[in-house]
Structure 1
Amino acid sequence: MASVSSDKTPKSSSRPRAKTQMAGVSQQLLDEELEHSAKLIHAAVKAKCVKDIQEELARPLIRMHQSRVLNTPYNQCPPLVLASRHNCVEVVEYLLTLGEIDIEQTGMVMFLHEEIHGAAALWTSAACGHLEIVKKLIDSGADVTHSTNSGSTPLRAACYDGHLNVVKLLKRQGSDINMPNKYGHTPLMIACYKQHDRVVRYLLNCGVDVNRQSELRGNTALHDAAEAGNTQIVNLLLEAGATVQRRDGDISPLLSAAAVGQSDMVHYLHNHRSMKYTNEEYVEAMELLGSAYVDRHRDNNRAVECWQKALDLREKCTFRAIIDFSPQTAYRNVQKPKSSAELTSVASNHDSVEMLALAVREQILGISHPDTPYYIRYRGAIFADRGDFDRCMLMWTYALDIQIKAFNPGHDNIYLTLGSCAEVLHHILSRHSVMPSSVKYVVDVTELAFTELRRCRLTNSRFIFRIARVMLHLTGIWLKALDMKSSVVNNKRRLYEITYNLVQMQLVNDDEETLLHLAVSPDITKILDFPAYSFPCEAVLALLIACGAEINATDKHRRTALHTAIRKSNKHNAERVAHIISLLADAGVSVNARDCYRKRAIDYVKAESEVAVAVRKRSPICLQELAAVVIVDTGIDISQILPLKLTKFVNMF
């Protein structure tokens, strides 16, 4: 996700040219002091202590930089948003009196262990149902349409937890009751799904579009009510004119209810006089309901009953012939039973029942429906818990393949599947004997990750770098597999091809860090919930360098990979960092390059440390570098004098 912007550090397009080292140090001390002040204010807000905030802002230095302190997020959350989250009414009142406060400032807030990015104070207070704060923010000019990064408006946030008074206030202030989030989910849909009948009634009375469809899944509010199993809300929607008409390829509310195991709702909708579902649609619903019993309720007996009922209905009615599943290795090539005898045979084998449930869901819902790959991943996770990593990777590789075919580039679910694959593959290679199939999965997943990376590049997806981050893990895992199976020459050649193309993309993240910076940082060792490949990694670094990575590339702090390696070093990885220093130095990194604070890499460690010794061994006196330092310190304008390549070199000092 894109980070919250801050004026804490200069952008690369306007990097400071400090005239003295003292100026750089002073700037660093100022940054540290302001960050400490932001931390104190953050704590005071959570404690609802206005007096402590006033005292901190009264300090002369902080008063000079008040706007920066008040509007820069600490722990990704600025003071006004934090106060709105914790219902600190007096704090909000005080902050709003300060002329330099940005009422539309955004940050990250947590709701039920979920990170919400790009949340403004009004959205946050509306989501919490803090009516008094909502009123104060609106009175102070807060934008009622300001949505989060996911496109959620304050009104939709209030609908999520059923804060009717907040919903009414926002509606009166001009908030659009039909505005969906980026997934096409409207306030009415979420109110139906969360079963807030009073909010649903209010929105319907306001003339909300009851038949609005999501662009992603084609669902309406009726689908969400069916999934929730709430017949009262279903009837409210039908009375308001909800219809079951849908676009080609969209599933019906009947199938939506079946997909989540709402058996009572399936029968209710089938028998409802206004629905007019055919028997064939009901058969599909029973088949899908059987899959839900397996994957959601772990009730194989009820699943078999549903499938048997579907078979019985097919025998009584004239339907098209049962369509076999396409042979799929991930599902053990299971086929749809055509008779009670075949179903009995499947029911006798627990694994066959599980595979049949997945195959039925894919056939009815299709690969573009989120539930299809979700339950494939779920089943793979169960195999992993059982220690059957081969089956796990078989399932997850297939899930990843269909996600890339069906979802938008950089989709969250693709990233989650890739991350899970990397974690399990690392686990396999670290703790188990390596089988040929393990190496194959490493190759297959990396190839799929690279395919996704190219899709992201073509569409300018802002999520491209997090996919590239997983690629670094997969690269390390592939290198480890090659060490264990050194005879796989073709695999090694293919890895170099992929890495070369990856380097040629010249990817950077929000902090302008390159893949080289990440390869030497321990911060990326964890992808999702568990550590994957260990970083900093000499092998991955060496491969990136061999494939042409720019050795002196700098981030937005003007720090090279050497700066990053040394700044992130600790007593546990000191020996590894010493080897990385040698690798970087041999490749031509400028050991004495200075960052925006005029600090060399060695300035970030103690003089007697093992890492400092390693740097001093690789930092001979260089006349070019000394000359560059003099040019920068004296402030000579070289932009019109030196060639571009030499200018870039000088700017490193």
Structure 2
Amino acid sequence: MSTGVWDLMPSRSRWIETLRHCGKTLLRRQRRLLRRLKKAYLHSWRSADELNMLVGAKVGGATPLVIACRNGHYDVAEYLIERCKADIEQPGSVTFDGETIEGAPPLWCAAAAGHLPLVKLLVRAGANVNSTTRTHSTPLRAACFDGHYDIVKFLVDNGADIEIANRHGHTCLMIACYKGHIRIAKYLLSLNADVNRKSVKGNTALHDCAESGSLNILKMLLGHGATMDVDSYGMTPLLAASVTGHTHIVEHLINAEHGLVTRQQRIDALELLGATYVDKRRDMVGALALWKRAMDDRFPADGSEPIPKPKDIPRIEAYDFAVEPSNAQQLEEILADPDGMRMQALVIRERILGPAHPDTSYYVRYRGAVYADAGRFARCRQLWHHALDMQRAVLPPLSPLTQSSLYSFAELFSYMLAERARPPLRGRIVPPVAFDDIEPVFSKALDEIHRGTELLDSKLSIDREQTLSTLQRVLVISLHLAALMARLLEEPDCTDEVSRKIHKAVYSLVKLDITVRQGRSALHVACSAEGARGRGGRAWLATEPTPPSPPARLVALMLRLGAAPDARDADGNTPLHLVCKLNPCPAEVVRALLAHGAHIDVVNYAGDTAEQLLQASAQSLAAIVNPLRYTTLKCLAARTIKNYRLPYRHVLPLCLYSTVLTH
């Protein structure tokens, strides 16, 4: 609640001030406030404007009416609506299942929480039954999500539109099917809900049933004319069921009596379901049985036309050049080779789903992680490189999936370097990390940055601020990898040739001269809190202290390779300013910046020097360096001019104006 509202409280309601400062939780404060609204002081307000200000004020982003509707306080909501004339459409922020819903109207809150009496109260008061949240979710969709059938029926009876979709294009029928609420789905179908309507990504209610495993609802949809459409990934509901491992859905759809799918679709579904058995259920025998059924379908005993597997599929090194079996005998042979079965699952999934489908790269990365847990780091890197190459080939620049793959590599290398520094555990020896291991990933990260800058420079309609934020995350990952390479320079076995390659690789990052969010350079990001934490909020290396600090080795290396120590961001901060905002401030980074020409007394646009920023967190610059060593006569003269406001224009040479302005 804003300070202005509290100032309007009458003197006899001073208990509110005590409540405001007590150590109770926010929820308890809200509940106490709501319980006493009616009894204590609402009737004593001096004017309607003051009352409206209180009733419309927000605590934790929610108005009293929103809180009452969320928590089922009927009497409070009734009083707020009928006596206080609260705005029944004023939205607020509420939390459901740990997720914050922004812009939720009171009716949406009551419907989502399952409070039918409150829903009726609000509708009688004239609430809009088709009001939406920021994500365009209606009260009806909220009730469908959690299975509140009585509320769904009441809202529809009072004019709720069953076809309004949220921002993702998901309708009420889709969410009821996905959540398995058969009674609601049956009711919506009785109202002639569109069973073949598609979401933004092209999936239908039939896809949602297949993914969730709701066979009874799926049968109802088919009975109402649902068709086997494909989504934006080319997935039918049958393939969706195979990917998620819902065998009963697959068996129902491939039943020849229904005639819903072709013979080729049936074969693909069985083979893909077998791959799911391998990776998700770890059921090799079950997978083999499914693959045998698919093989029998390919080469039927009744003399029908065979459907052999494609022969033009390239052999992939990451999959150990695995080739799919072409007969039942070859299938039997791979059962004795668990690794061979796992590679078959990856080959089949990539052939059927294609490299663009998220599950294709996900399971490749998953298998690589399993190998890493077993100490087979080379196999892990091989599979992850293949997944990363697939993603970069088919996904747009700065895709979250590509970022995730790059970051996984950085985490893997950090783990390996940290484990090398510890005594071997139960005889497990972690191999050393070499420059040749990191450099290919680093090059791909830089290429992703280059693609991102091209996207920013293009004339495409994009969210520029969001793109800059995404670009910064990729830059942080690149800096993480660069920090790992900088650490290799201190290894005893680092040769001159390796040192030269590391310098060349880091220089390729420095010369990009990239600018990300808030106008920050790569050196800014390396010296900032975001750069110190890395993408996942962790230290650059697992062996470094907490809280994390920027890697001094990398900062010094970037400065030696030409990074500008006095570059300014949008707030006028130099890298030295950002380092001095950290607590504790990394002394080695400060010394490296000053040694390479950073000005110790430059002010940012708020007028703060690095020393003043340190003092704000009870730290001292003198404890890190001797300030006099880095203070020049030119700096002293500039500070004197600024402090005494001496006129200098048309007195000093133009080349010195910037020196005066920055001190």
Relative distance call for 1:188 and 1:141 in structure 2 (3 A) is closer
Pick from 540, 544, 561 the counterpart of residue 554 of structure 2.
Answer: 540
Relative distance call for 1:128 and 1:409 in structure 2 (3 A) is farther
Pick from 582, 585, 588 the counterpart of residue 591 of structure 2.
Answer: 582
The one-letter code matched in structure 2 to 1:177 is E
- Which whole-Å CA distance do the structure 2 matches of 1:333 and 1:586 have between them? 53
Relative distance call for 1:609 and 1:371 in structure 2 (3 A) is closer
- Which whole-Å CA distance do the structure 2 matches of 1:153 and 1:467 have between them? 36
- Which whole-Å CA distance do the structure 1 matches of 2:648 and 2:160 have between them? 54
Superposition map of 1:463-474 within 5 A? 463-474=470-481
C-alpha deviation, 1:297, in angstroms: 1.0
Q: Residue 58 of structure 1 corresponds to which residue in structure 2?
A: none
The one-letter code matched in structure 1 to 2:185 is V
Moved more, 456-465 or 300-309: 456-465
Superposition map of 1:156-555 within 5 A? 156-164=141-149, 167=152, 177-182=163-168, 184-216=169-201, 218-246=202-230, 250-271=234-255, 273-316=257-300, 317-324=304-311, 325-432=313-420, 438-457=434-453, 458=455, 460=464, 462=467, 463-484=470-491, 485-486=494-495, 487-488=497-498, 489-501=500-512, 504-508=513-517, 515-522=522-529, 524-525=532-533, 527-528=535-536, 531-533=539-541, 535-545=549-559, 546-549=561-564, 551-554=566-569
Q: Residue 577 of structure 2 corresponds to which residue in structure 1?
A: 563
- Which whole-Å CA distance do the structure 2 matches of 1:385 and 1:305 have between them? 29
* Higher RCO (CA < 8 A, seq sep 6+): 1
- Which whole-Å CA distance do the structure 2 matches of 1:372 and 1:83 have between them? 44
- Which whole-Å CA distance do the structure 2 matches of 1:70 and 1:612 have between them? 48
Pick from 131, 152, 156 the counterpart of residue 144 of structure 1.
Answer: 131
- Do structure 1's residue 591 and structure 2's residue 587 form an aligned pair? no
**Which consecutive unaligned segments of at least 5 residues does structure 2 have?**
3-19, 41-49, 421-428, 456-461, 542-547
The one-letter code matched in structure 2 to 1:622 is L
C-alpha deviation, 1:508, in angstroms: 1.2
Secondary structure of 2:448's match? helix
**RMSD value over aligned CA atoms?**
4.6
Secondary structure of 1:393's match? helix
Query: Does the Cα contact within 8 Å between 2:523 and 2:558 map onto a contact in 1?
Result: yes
C-alpha deviation, 1:211, in angstroms: 1.2
Tell me the percent identity: 28
Relative distance call for 1:333 and 1:580 in structure 2 (3 A) is same
C-alpha deviation, 1:188, in angstroms: 2.8
Relative distance call for 1:207 and 1:366 in structure 2 (3 A) is same
Q: CA offsets, 1:137-161, max 9 Å, x none?
A: 996889823334xx76665454333
Query: Does the Cα contact within 8 Å between 1:177 and 1:203 map onto a contact in 2?
Result: no
- Which whole-Å CA distance do the structure 2 matches of 1:93 and 1:519 have between them? 55
- Which whole-Å CA distance do the structure 1 matches of 2:146 and 2:578 have between them? 44
- Which whole-Å CA distance do the structure 2 matches of 1:585 and 1:143 have between them? 61
Q: Residue 43 of structure 2 corresponds to which residue in structure 1?
A: none
Query: Does the Cα contact within 8 Å between 1:439 and 1:481 map onto a contact in 2?
Result: yes
Query: Does the Cα contact within 8 Å between 1:499 and 1:543 map onto a contact in 2?
Result: no
Relative distance call for 1:420 and 1:80 in structure 2 (3 A) is farther
C-alpha deviation, 1:373, in angstroms: 1.3
Relative distance call for 1:38 and 1:303 in structure 2 (3 A) is farther
The one-letter code matched in structure 2 to 1:329 is E
C-alpha deviation, 1:292, in angstroms: 0.9
- Which whole-Å CA distance do the structure 1 matches of 2:655 and 2:191 have between them? 63
Moved more, 448-457 or 38-47: 38-47
Secondary structure of 2:228's match? coil
Q: Residue 25 of structure 1 corresponds to which residue in structure 2?
A: none
- Which whole-Å CA distance do the structure 2 matches of 1:271 and 1:261 have between them? 17
C-alpha deviation, 1:587, in angstroms: 4.2
Q: CA offsets, 1:98-120, max 9 Å, x none?
A: 9999945669x5735xx557564
Moved more, 301-310 or 202-211: 202-211
- Which whole-Å CA distance do the structure 1 matches of 2:271 and 2:404 have between them? 29
C-alpha deviation, 1:165, in angstroms: 5.1
Query: Does the Cα contact within 8 Å between 2:479 and 2:526 map onto a contact in 1?
Result: yes
Query: Does the Cα contact within 8 Å between 1:420 and 1:528 map onto a contact in 2?
Result: no
Query: Does the Cα contact within 8 Å between 1:46 and 1:82 map onto a contact in 2?
Result: no
Query: Does the Cα contact within 8 Å between 2:325 and 2:331 map onto a contact in 1?
Result: yes
- Which whole-Å CA distance do the structure 2 matches of 1:630 and 1:369 have between them? 66
The one-letter code matched in structure 2 to 1:528 is G
TM value normalised by structure 1: 0.75
C-alpha deviation, 1:507, in angstroms: 0.4
Relative distance call for 1:94 and 1:405 in structure 2 (3 A) is farther
Secondary structure of 1:179's match? coil
Query: Does the Cα contact within 8 Å between 2:228 and 2:260 map onto a contact in 1?
Result: no
The one-letter code matched in structure 2 to 1:356 is Q
Secondary structure of 2:299's match? helix
Moved more, 348-357 or 151-160: 151-160
The one-letter code matched in structure 1 to 2:401 is N
- Which whole-Å CA distance do the structure 2 matches of 1:411 and 1:544 have between them? 27
- Which whole-Å CA distance do the structure 2 matches of 1:375 and 1:85 have between them? 43
- Which whole-Å CA distance do the structure 1 matches of 2:268 and 2:328 have between them? 17
Query: Does the Cα contact within 8 Å between 2:93 and 2:100 map onto a contact in 1?
Result: no
C-alpha deviation, 1:287, in angstroms: 0.6
- Which whole-Å CA distance do the structure 2 matches of 1:330 and 1:229 have between them? 33
Pick from 608, 627, 631 the counterpart of residue 617 of structure 1.
Answer: 627
Relative distance call for 1:194 and 1:344 in structure 2 (3 A) is same
Query: Does the Cα contact within 8 Å between 1:71 and 1:101 map onto a contact in 2?
Result: no
C-alpha deviation, 1:235, in angstroms: 1.9
- Which whole-Å CA distance do the structure 1 matches of 2:614 and 2:443 have between them? 39
Larger radius of gyration between Structure 1 and Structure 2: 2
- Which whole-Å CA distance do the structure 2 matches of 1:101 and 1:248 have between them? 39
Query: Does the Cα contact within 8 Å between 1:80 and 1:121 map onto a contact in 2?
Result: no
C-alpha deviation, 1:365, in angstroms: 0.9
C-alpha deviation, 1:421, in angstroms: 2.0
- Which whole-Å CA distance do the structure 1 matches of 2:36 and 2:577 have between them? 36
Superposition map of 1:110-121 within 5 A? 111=97, 120=104
Relative distance call for 1:46 and 1:220 in structure 2 (3 A) is farther
The one-letter code matched in structure 1 to 2:551 is C
- Which whole-Å CA distance do the structure 1 matches of 2:247 and 2:57 have between them? 53
Relative distance call for 1:280 and 1:52 in structure 2 (3 A) is closer
TM value normalised by structure 2: 0.74
The one-letter code matched in structure 2 to 1:493 is K
Secondary structure of 1:613's match? coil
The one-letter code matched in structure 1 to 2:358 is P
